[in-house]
Structure 1
Amino acid sequence: MRQGGRPRDTHIDEAVLDAVSAILEETGYRTLAVEQVAKRAEVSKAAVYRRWPNRQSLVLAELRRRLGRVVTPDTGCTLCDLTEALNLFARTFTCMGPEFFSPLLADCSADPDLRTTFMETLFDPPREAVRATLSLALERGDLREDTDLTLTVDTLASLVHYRLLFGHAPVTEDELERAVTSLLSGLARDFPALRAKAGVTHGMA
């Protein structure tokens, strides 16, 4: 059954999110205000508030647009796929810049709905990609049967979070590959075979 009222103008949605993106790039999250976004998008504040009730929702909507759909890597090469899955984690947080990850989380934590949206937008998708990649590796027999998937996911994810938040060490593809290689050397049933397969399939060193 079709609901009454005018259909939502997607052009306004796009203009508002484009404005949010530009402001984030120019001045960051802390000073972003709905009034500022409305002026930049050349729409009324009421038009913005009809779509997003606060600036946190605005920013999360823009980050969701930037991230797109997270797809679990599945090439059959455990070392390659796990490295790519960890790169998904890194791209999730670098897409917005580490300097406003903490204040955004703090602003969302007091509101259960906002916190849920935050987790569903920025935390759950890349984490699930890492978990799914590890589950596939376990099913293929590449990992030891006693591997604790939750602990392994948290171990890998914490490396990305720790380095991006404190900025003391790089989060590059080479560094993430080193981390995955180090972890798998202890979890794999036959690590030399996994490393050899990665080298043949994807040209990894």
Structure 2
Amino acid sequence: MAGRPRDPDLERRLLAAAWSLLTSQGYDTLTLTQVATRAKAHRTDVYRRWSSKARLVTDALAEHLPPVSEVDTGSLRTDLRAFVDDLAASWSSPWIDGLVGLLADLRHDADADIAFRTMAERRGQPLVNAITRAVRRGEIRAAPDLFLAGDLLEGPLMHRRLFGRQPLTPDYLDAVAQSAHRMLTGTGVAT
């Protein structure tokens, strides 16, 4: 005897509900029950798909987080600046404060941790592509440590937003991109 047919857009509704709750309430207060209610679904619908809040939120981020643009301006310096702008849009969102709670939960949820890392790598691919183009154009002598390059761009934004509680101004974003460019090209330290 066949069961009730699965609702084809249920997962999409659940992810949209999780994103809506994340952006309106933050990670810490989001519950799987709230997600089910918001999506007009049953709690069991959520638990069948996601074993934890961290896994659900990671999938919601992967689905709804604004993408990092794939930009080829012809120059590493301006490619880095475009990349930083897209990162800043995410780090300036009010829901980002809850990211600390998600990161803490990832330590205890291997599946969510793997999914989060996969999403982060996918979001970092435009940077990898920009650096690869810069190497081909001769702007960079040798391929740098790509993880360090990403850390040089996103680390300051995260620190300024979460710990310094400061806005990500255009001048600050210029300085971050310029500093990373100087390190990658070996043209000296930013002043």
TM-score tier after normalising by the smaller chain length? 0.7 to 0.9
Determine whether 1:158 maps to 2:155: yes
- Deviation, 1:39, is 1.8
Q: Call closer, same or farther: CA 1:96–1:168 in 2, change over 3 Å.
A: closer
- Which residue type is aligned with residue 156 of structure 1? L
Letter in 2 for 1:130: L
Instruction: Pick closer, same or farther for the CA change 1:7–1:118 going to 2, 3 Å.
Output: farther
Distance 1:125 1:39 in 2: 30
Judge conservation of contact 1:142–1:189 (CA < 8 Å) in 2.
no
Partner of 2:40: 42
Match of 1:129 in 2: 126
- Which of 20, 23, 31 is equivalent to 2:21? 23
Call closer, same or farther: CA 1:75–1:46 in 2, change over 3 Å. same
- Counterpart amino acid of residue 116 in structure 1: I
Matched, 1:54 2:52: yes
The aligned length equals: 186
Map residues 1-205 of structure 1 onto 2, 5 A cutoff. Answer: 8-67=6-65, 70-94=68-92, 97-121=95-119, 123-143=120-140, 145=141, 148-150=144-146, 151-185=148-182, 187-188=184-185
Greater C-alpha radius of gyration: 1
In the alignment, the residues of structure 2 paired with residue 44 and residue 134 of structure 1 have an alpha-carbon distance, to the nearest angstrom, of 46
Kindly indicate whether the alpha-carbon contact (under 8 Å) linking 1:63 and 1:96 is maintained by their aligned counterparts in 2: no
2:175 maps to a residue whose letter is R
Return the letter of the residue paired with 2:133: L
Give the alignment's Cα RMSD to 1 decimal: 2.8
SS in 1 for 2:9: helix
4+ residue stretches of structure 1 with deviation over 6 A? 4-7
State the shift of 1:75 in Å. Answer: 2.5
Letter in 2 for 1:133: A
How far apart, in 2, do the equivalents of 1:171 and 1:40 lie? Answer: 32
| Alpha-carbon spacing, 1:126–1:38, altered in 2? closer, same or farther (3 Å) | closer
| 1:24 partner SS | helix
Listed as ranges, the gaps of 5+ residues in structure 1 are: 192-205
Q: Residues of 2 paired with 1:161 and 1:49: CA distance?
A: 31
Measured at CA, do residues 173 and 5 of structure 1 come closer, stay the same or move farther in structure 2, by a change above 3 Å? farther
* Cα distance, 1:82 vs structure 2: 1.1
Residues 6 and 94 from structure 1, CA distance in 2 versus in 1: closer, same or farther, beyond 3 angstroms?
farther
Identify if the C-alpha distance between structure 1 residues 63 and 187 changes in structure 2 by more than 3 Å, giving closer, same or farther.
closer
Q: 1:8 to 1:175 in 2, by over 3 A?
A: farther
Structure 2 gaps of 5+ residues are none
TM-score, normalization by structure 1: 0.75
What SS does the corresponding residue of 1:163 show, helix, strand or coil? helix
What SS does the corresponding residue of 1:97 show, helix, strand or coil?
helix
